[in-house]
Structures are given as C-alpha cells and as structure tokens.
Amino acid sequence: MQLLISDANILIELEEGNLLPQFFQLPYDIAIPDILYYEEIEELHSHLLSMGLKIRKLNPETLMEAEKIIKRYPKPSRNDCFALMLAMQECCPLLT
C-alpha cells in the first residue's frame, strides 16, 4: 500500500468533519512522525492509532537535516518540518 505522511492539521480537521473513518478506509497507509504524535496528537487524539494511523521515526541523518531546515526556515513549525523530512525519508507524499 502507498504510504502517505500527514501533518497534524489534516488529521484534526478530518476528525472535526467526521471524515476519519472514510479517510482510514482509503487504500493508503497513513503515518506521522513520532515527535509530532507525542507533541500534538497523543493527548486528545490517541484513538487514531486504533483507526490505522502509524507512527514512524526519523532516522538520525534525516533528523539532522530537519534541524538544518528548522533553522533556515523559521515560519513553518518544527513539527511541520519533521513531517516534511519524514516524507522525504520515506520517498512518499506529504499531506498538509
């Protein structure tokens, strides 16, 4: 199955629109960076794991690249940069 990396906003807005069940029935694996999950999703949306959300880790090299991007581009959030870098690491699309 095709892997898609999501940022937190996509998941939260789909939940507000009551579209998560349909979203997780699509023929895709949906993942987010572990850092993003623990900082933005876990407290209020941990049930997403039971719906099919996967958590992925940035490898050390990708994490170092993410830190460079965070310093270079201050406007995107730190977690948005982690999601971007995970998508690049996994060579898959980023949902944002």
Residue extents of the structural domains in the chain = 2-95
Mean pLDDT along residues 20-45: 95
Mean pLDDT along residues 30-56: 95
CATH architecture observed for domain 2-95: 3-Layer(aba) Sandwich (3.40)
Mean pLDDT of the chain: 95
pLDDT of residue 49: 97
55, β-bridge pairs: 32
30: left (phi over 0), alpha (psi -120 to 50) or beta: beta
CB 1 within 8 A of CB 27: yes
3, β-bridge pairs: 29
Please tell me the total number of residues recorded for the chain in this structure.
96
pLDDT of residue 43: 93
With a threshold of 0.75, does the pTM exceed it? yes
pLDDT at 14 over 90: yes
